[in-house]
């Protein structure tokens, strides 16, 4: 799972989340900082309305939270989702002795991003891609 800091950076760089079953997220509230939630038709489901999307908690959680606006949730994309976001720019994931390296190509530039966690290395690459297209 990617770090909260990188998830915030991705959101701030313009990454848009369309919730789907299996997606993980945190709430943008200090009291929920350590809690990670998973979208699931049984417990937490996205409900789309003309005014926006909410994440509805279907009564199986131990506290009384009915729903939250999508804007109040922070998506924690999985490694496979981050790799998919790179699409044709992705070249390789390389395991190093103390880190993982993601290699991408944007235009004529070959770029590499290293991090001890592979998902965070992917997130750094996606962040760079978002910066270059915005």
**Mean pLDDT (whole number) for 24-36:** 84
Among 40-44, 49-53, 93-97, name the most confident range.
Answer: 93-97
Entry pTM: 0.86
- Mean of all residue pLDDT scores within the chain: 90
Q: How far apart are CA 26 and CA 24, in angstroms?
A: 7
Per-residue pLDDT for 80 more than 90? Answer: yes
Task: Render the burial of 16-47: b for 16+ CB within 10 Å, e for the rest.
Answer: ebebeeebbbbbbeeebeeeebebeeeebbbe
**pLDDT-based confidence at residue 77 (cuts at 50, 70, 90):** very high
pLDDT at position 67 is 78
Per-residue pLDDT for 100 more than 50? Answer: yes
Are 10 and 130 within 8 A, CB to CB? yes
pLDDT at position 62 is 47
Q: How far apart are CA 24 and CA 22, in angstroms?
A: 6
Compute CA distances 23 → 6, 114, 116, 133, whole Å. Answer: 16, 24, 22, 25
Render 22-68 in DSSP notation, one character per residue: T-EEEESSGGGTT--EE-BTTTEEEEEETTEEEEEE-S-SSS---EE
**Mean pLDDT (whole number) for 7-25:** 95
Residue 121 or residue 32, greater confidence: 121
**Mean pLDDT (whole number) for 23-52:** 85
Return the closest-CA partner of residue 25 out of 64, 83, 81. 81
């Amino acid at each position: 799972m990617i770090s909260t800091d990188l998830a915030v950076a991705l959101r701030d760089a313009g990454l848009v989340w369309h919730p789907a079953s299996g997606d993980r997220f945190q709430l943008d509230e200090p009291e929920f900082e350590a809690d990670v939630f998973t979208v699931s038709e049984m417990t937490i489901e996205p409900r789309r309305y003309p005014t926006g999307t909410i994440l509805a908690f279907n009564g199986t959680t131990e506290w009384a939270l009915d729903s939250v606006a999508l804007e109040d949730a922070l998506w924690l994309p999985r490694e496979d989702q981050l790799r998919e976001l790179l699409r044709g720019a992705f070249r390789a994931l390389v395991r190093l002795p103390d880190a993982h390296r993601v290699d991408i190509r944007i235009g004529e530039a070959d770029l590499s991003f290293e991090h001890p966690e592979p998902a965070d290395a992917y997130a750094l690459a996606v962040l760079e891609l978002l910066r270059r297209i915005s």
